[in-house]
């Protein structure tokens, strides 16, 4: 039992470290590669290093977040769920904060602020569209149970608890159980056609 808890803690720490390095890598790249007004020329090597760190952290994070160990079962959700739940929203938020700082302190290059104002509005709209991503969960079916995982904690429910499954927003679906609801992203290979129900979602609907 103690070994299982230890492995769980280590895996949790690895996920947090991956997200932290991704955030820091993006920040380093923005600070060192962006042509600030009045910025002293700095070697681009460190900026490129930041991009490498963020890309490596992203790939590593997606791999470990999709590691189910020996749990088995049928995966309902896309393996890219961590990308949409954590990494893309983090990137948009970081770009929004960076652009906001440029506007507030007049660090933007050139004398035309309109481009950066337009980017600010666009990033705000993207942030709103990505809001459902924060609620995304990984979901598996196994031995009459639904295993829902937010990548840090997991809970199990009976398949009989499924009450409603419907499209929530574009490719996202909401699964309503007796006392709780989950937002999931089905396998993208099944979701190309918005007019057809993905096979994995149909599996959930068949439980009702």
Does residue 116 lie within any of the structural domains? no
**Cβ atoms of residues 174 and 181 within 8 Å:** yes
Cα–Cα distance for residue pair 26/22, rounded to 1 Å = 6
The answer to whether residue 185 is domain-embedded is yes
User: How far are the Cα atoms of 13, 58, 64 from residue 17, in angstroms, in the given order?
Assistant: 6, 11, 11
Residue 143 lies in a domain: yes
Instruction: Domain of residue 10: give its range.
Output: 1-35+42-65
Rounded average pLDDT over 170-176 = 89
| Mean pLDDT, rounded, for 48-55 | 92
| Domain-located, residue 142 | yes
Tens-place pLDDT, residues 129-161 = 888 788 899 999 988 899 998 888 888 999 999
Is 124 a domain residue?
A: no
Total domains in the chain come to: 2
Q: How far apart are CA 23 and CA 204, in angstroms?
A: 35
Does residue 190 sit within a domain?
A: yes
User: SS3 letters for the chain?
Assistant: CHHHHHHHHHHHHHHHHHHHHHHHHHHHHHHHHCCCCCCCCCCCHHHHHHHHHHHHHHHHHHHHHCCCCCCCCEECECCCHHHHHHHHHHHHHHHHHHHHHHHHCCCCCCCCCHHHHHHHHHHHHHHHHCHHHHHECEEEEECCEEEEECCCCEEEEEHHHCCEEEEEECCEEEEECCCCEEEECECHHHCCCCCCCCHHHHHHHCCC
State the Cα–Cα distance between residues 40 and 133, nearest whole angstrom: 38
In degrees rounded to 5, what are phi and psi of residue 9?
A: -65, -45
Q: Which of 25-39, 115-129, 152-166 has the lowest mean pLDDT?
A: 25-39
Is 145 within a domain? yes
Q: What is the pLDDT of residue 164?
A: 92
In a domain, 112, yes or no: no
pTM, two decimals, is 0.85
pLDDT of residue 78: 92
């Amino acid at each position: 039992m103690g070994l299982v808890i230890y492995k769980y803690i280590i895996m949790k720490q690895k996920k947090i470290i991956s997200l932290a390095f991704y955030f820091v890598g993006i920040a380093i790249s923005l600070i060192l590669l962006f042509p600030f007004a009045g910025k002293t020329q700095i070697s681009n090597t460190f900026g490129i290093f930041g991009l490498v760190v963020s890309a490596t952290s992203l790939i590593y994070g997606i791999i470990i977040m999709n590691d189910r160990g020996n749990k088995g079962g049928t995966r309902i959700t896309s393996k890219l769920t961590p990308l949409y739940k954590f990494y893309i929203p983090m990137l948009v938020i970081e770009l929004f904060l960076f652009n906001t700082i440029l506007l507030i302190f007049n660090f933007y290059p050139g004398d035309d602020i309109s481009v950066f104002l337009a980017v600010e509005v666009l990033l705000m709209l993207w942030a709103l569209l990505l809001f459902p991503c924060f609620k995304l969960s990984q979901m598996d079916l196994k031995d009459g149970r639904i295993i829902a995982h937010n990548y840090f904690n997991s809970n199990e429910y009976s398949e009989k608890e499924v009450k409603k499954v419907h499209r929530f927003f574009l490719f996202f679906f909401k699964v309503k159980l007796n006392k709780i609801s989950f937002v999931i992203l089905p396998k993208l290979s099944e979701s190309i056609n918005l007019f057809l129900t993905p096979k994995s979602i149909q599996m959930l609907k068949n439980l009702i």
